[in-house]
A and B are shown apart, each in its own frame.
Chain A
Amino acid sequence: MNKEFTKGLVKDNPIFVQLLGLCPALGVSGLVVNALGMGAGVIFVMLGANIFVSLLKNFIPQKVRIPSYIVIIASFVTIVQMVMEAFAPELYNNLGVFVPLIVVNCAILGRAEAFASRNTLKDSVLDALGMGIGFTLGLTLIALVREILGAGTITLFAMGGFDGVIRIPILHLAPVRIFSLASGALLAIGLLLALFNWKSSAKRG
């Protein structure tokens, strides 16, 4: 596998290693389905932004590069916003103000500035996919921890006779509700980060 793609998955994971894009990560991490929806939005925006920044890197004047990137990113965010509101209104409602806030997701501007503006189109696409999927993985992990502990359920997409909610026996009758609240999100990510640190230091030493 190409290293531009794989680096975003674990080694430079935007959430757990670079600590970027945390606001949306925590804000929508109450339900697994929201995390996946937000992840899809971020992958799309990141991909679009990286493609256009990479293509236009010689056209965009150095002095106004940040505003230019922001315009490109904001356009893709608006596209996501409009399409999601039209065709997935329920998801749009759940994500609320966090959809337009993708625009200030530092992970996206970070990739455009640090990678796409000085690399080829192919590498930029791979980089966006890797980082986007890494972001989604991290977000889903937090959502899994929060939803399983906080509500005793895993909410996915409803299909056919299945209503999309997996209920975990016992836990779902008496969940640890604090994990579904704001403070639970901060606690969950703190504990997960500590786990990551412990794992990686154990590997090294």
Chain B
Amino acid sequence: MSYISILITYIFISNFVLTQFLGLCPFIGVSRNTESAVGMGFAVIFVMSIASVVTWLVYTYVLVPLALVYLQTIAFILVIASLVQFVEMVIQKVSPPLYKALGIFLPLITTNCAVMGIALMNITSEHSLIESFVGGIAAGLGFMLALIMMSSIREQLAMKPVPKPFRGVPAAFISGGLMALAFMAFDRALLTNLLG
């Protein structure tokens, strides 16, 4: 797979949130306003791209040679957990306002299925190191795209009279469902048409 097709695949065709249900918790939890959606999006892209590279290295150079592939799940989640801790420290140092806005959500990235998901998918799709890195960035971009669209919709929804039982989360899910419907228009044919 070429890098461009990896990008298109993870951003549009198999968008993590809208077609694979990965990263739904933050998708619903952090999408109330666009500002925090953007912040969360960048944090996730950052963690995902580094996590992709590190988990790939751990898998290829530690787990496979030692025949410890069955420890994959434990190794990956530990790598991701320590990375998130590290990113949290960096953001706290570099940008206190951002840290204040994202503070409670950063630890949640550890249990963000999307990060673990891309790490596992890089292995099952037999990506190379660079392909994994691109995959991580692309999946993160796809996540951010979905998150920003969702938050714009919810900002609008907040000003509209929504029937009471649908207010908040149910309306968010239904909007997400409609967005996913639109994303079905992207399929493999897109790659064939664009790249031949």
Contact = CB atoms under 8 A, between A and B. Distances in A.
Given A181-B184, A190-B176, A22 B74 contact: no
B121 A75 contact: no
Contact of B22 (A23, A82, A109, A185): A23
Interface string A179-205: 001111111111101110110010000
Given A104-B111, A183-B178, A197-B165, A20 B73 contact: no
Contact of A77 (B73, B108, B115, B176): B73
B41 interface: no
Contacts of A182: 18-21, 180, 183-184
Contacts of A189: 173
A67 B177 contact: no
Size bin of chain B's contact surface: 35 or more
A153 to B, nearest CB: 21
What does DSSP make chain B's interface, helix, strand, loop or mixed?
helix
What does DSSP make chain A's interface, helix, strand, loop or mixed?
helix
A183 B183 CA distance: 9
A70 B81 CA distance: 9
Nearest to A29: B21
Interface stretch (A31-39, A95-103, A133-141, A157-165): A95-103
A197 B168 CA distance: 11
A26 interface: yes
A195 B164 CA distance: 11
A104 B164 contact: no
Nearest to A199: B165
Nearest to A22: B24
Size bin of chain A's contact surface: 35 or more
B157 interface: no
Contacts of A27: 20-22
Interface in B102-149: 107-108, 110-113, 115-117, 120-121, 124
B29 to A, nearest CB: 8
B73 A187 contact: no
Interface of B: 18-25, 28, 70-74, 77-78, 81-82, 107-108, 110-113, 115-117, 120-121, 124, 164-167, 169-174, 176-181, 183-184
Interface of A: 19-20, 22-24, 26-27, 66-67, 70-71, 74-75, 77-78, 81-82, 97, 100-101, 103-106, 109, 178, 181-191, 193-195, 197-198, 201
